[in-house]
Structure 1
Amino acid sequence: MRLPPVAIVAASALLGAGASAVAKAPTTWDGLTQVKSKRLDLVYLQPGADFRAYSKVLVEPTEVAFAKNWQRDYNRSTRQLGARVSDSEVQRTITEAVKAANDIFAQSWTKGGYAVVDTPGPDVMRVKTGVVNIWVNAPDRPTAGRSYSFSEEAGRATLFVEARDSMTGALLGRAVDQRIVGDNMTAWRTSVSNRGDFRDQVQHWADISVRGMAELKALSPIKP
Structure 2
Amino acid sequence: MIAKLVKKSLFLAGVLALAAPLVAGENFPESTKDGLKLKKQSRHGAVYVADDATLANYDKVKILDCFVQFEKDWQRNYNRDERDLSRRVTDKDVEQIKKKVAEAFPRAFSKELEKGGYSVVDGTGKDVLLIRPAIINLTVTAPETNSPGISETFVASNGSMTLYMELYDSATSTKIAEVMDAEAVGDTGFGHRGGRVSNQMEFDRTIQEWAHKLRKRLDEAHGK
Same fold (TM over 0.5): yes
Shift, 1:146, TM fit: 7.5
After TM superposition, give the deviation of residue 105 of structure 1 in Å: 1.0
Q: Using the TM superposition, give the Cα deviation of residue 75 of structure 1 relative to its aligned residue in structure 2, in angstroms.
A: 0.7
Q: Which residue of 1 aligns with 2:28?
A: 25
CA 1:35–1:148: 2 relative to 1, 3 Å: same
Are the aligned partners of 2:60 and 2:119 in contact in 1 as well (CA < 8 Å)? yes
* Residue pair 2:55, 2:217 contacting (<8 A) in 1 also: no
Highest RCO, 1 vs 2 (Cα 8 Å, sep ≥ 6) = 1
1:56 corresponds in structure 2 to 60
Q: Does 1:185 align with 2:190?
A: yes
Q: Which amino acid aligns with 1:75?
A: N
SS for the counterpart of 1:164 is strand
Q: Which amino acid aligns with 2:205?
A: D
* Separation (CA, whole Å) in 2 of partners of 1:119 and 1:59: 10
Query: What is the aligned residue count?
Result: 212
How many angstroms does 1:186 deviate by?
A: 2.3
Distance (whole Å) between structure 2 residues aligned to residue 175 and residue 216 of structure 1: 17
| Cα offsets for 1:116-136 (capped at 9, x unmatched) | 111111111111122221111
Query: What is the DSSP-based 3-state SS (H/G/I as helix, E as strand, rest coil) of the residue aligned with 1:15?
Result: helix
The Cα of 1:161 is off from its aligned counterpart by 1.7
Change (3 A) 1:80 1:214: same
2:108 aligned residue (92, 104, 107): 104
Q: Describe the shift of the 1:215–1:65 C-alpha distance in structure 2 as closer, same or farther (beyond 3 A).
A: same
- In the TM superposition, residue 157 of structure 1 has moved relative to its aligned partner by 0.7
**Cα RMSD (Å):** 2.4
What corresponds to 1:16 in structure 2?
Answer: 23
How big is the shift at 1:140? 4.7
Measured after TM superposition, the shift of residue 165 of structure 1 is 0.9
Stretches of structure 2 that go unaligned for 5 or more consecutive residues are 1-7
Report if aligned partners of 2:55, 2:221 keep a CA contact under 8 Å in 1: yes
Match of 1:157 among 146, 154, 161: 161
Normalised to the residue count of structure 1, the TM-score between the two structures is 0.84
Shift in CA distance, 59/146, structure 1 to aligned 2, threshold 3 Å: closer
SS at the partner of 1:200? helix
1:214 correspondence with 2:223: no
User: Deviation digits for residues 145-182 of structure 1, max 9, x if unmatched?
Assistant: 88542221111110112111112111101111111111
Return 5+ residue gaps in structure 1 as ranges.
219-224
* Alpha-carbon separation, structure 2, partners of 1:199 and 1:6: 26
Matches within 5 A, 1:66-215: 66-141=70-145, 148-182=152-186, 183-215=188-220
CA distance in 1, matches of 2:202, 2:64: 23
Give the Cα–Cα distance (whole angstroms) in 2 for the partners of residues 91 and 77 of structure 1: 20
Instruction: Output the CA distance in 2 between the equivalents of 1:144 and 1:69.
Output: 25
**Is the CA contact (8 Å cut-off) linking 2:72 and 2:137 kept in structure 1?**
yes
- Aligned-pair identity (%): 32
Structure 1 residues 93 and 216: CA distance shift in structure 2, 3 A: same
